[in-house]
Amino acid sequence: MNPRTLVRAEGAIVAAAATATYALQGRSLLVFLALVLLPDVSMAGYLHSRRVGATTYNAVHTYLGPVTLAAAGILTGTGLAVGVALIWTAHIGADRLFGYGLKYADREFGDTHVQRL
């Protein structure tokens, strides 16, 4: 299997697992739907420049943020943080499934790490 297919399959599994975990915890579907596209607000950085856009987009579209938020939520017993982390993780997984990846500051928006695989 080629790397691009692997990244997309991985994204599908991550998105499905995060969404299922969220649902199995009895969390609100309306909250999920309201927040699932929120990470894409980070694209607003492109209104300033490619470099700022890529930086803001990448900061929000790696698993580092939601994993850190989930860990903090678990350690402090903050269910809201865990729920938001699951939604955020589902978003990133879905992005990978559909071929959206991390951006390069010196390239066009659509030129991502997934296209280079």
Segment 43-79, tens digit of pLDDT? 999 999 999 999 999 999 999 999 999 999 999 999 9
Is position 102 within any domain?
Answer: no
Report which of 91, 102, 109 is spatially closest to residue 117, judged by C-alpha positions.
102
Is position 48 within any domain?
Answer: yes
Is position 25 within any domain?
Answer: yes
Does residue 115 have a pLDDT over 90? no
Is position 111 within any domain?
Answer: no
Segment 34-44, tens digit of pLDDT? 999 999 999 99
- How many structural domains are present in the chain? 1
Label residue 117 by pLDDT band (50, 70, 90). Answer: low
User: What domain range is 28 assigned to?
Assistant: 3-97
Contact by Cβ (8 Å): 36, 114: no
Q: What is the pTM of this model?
A: 0.94
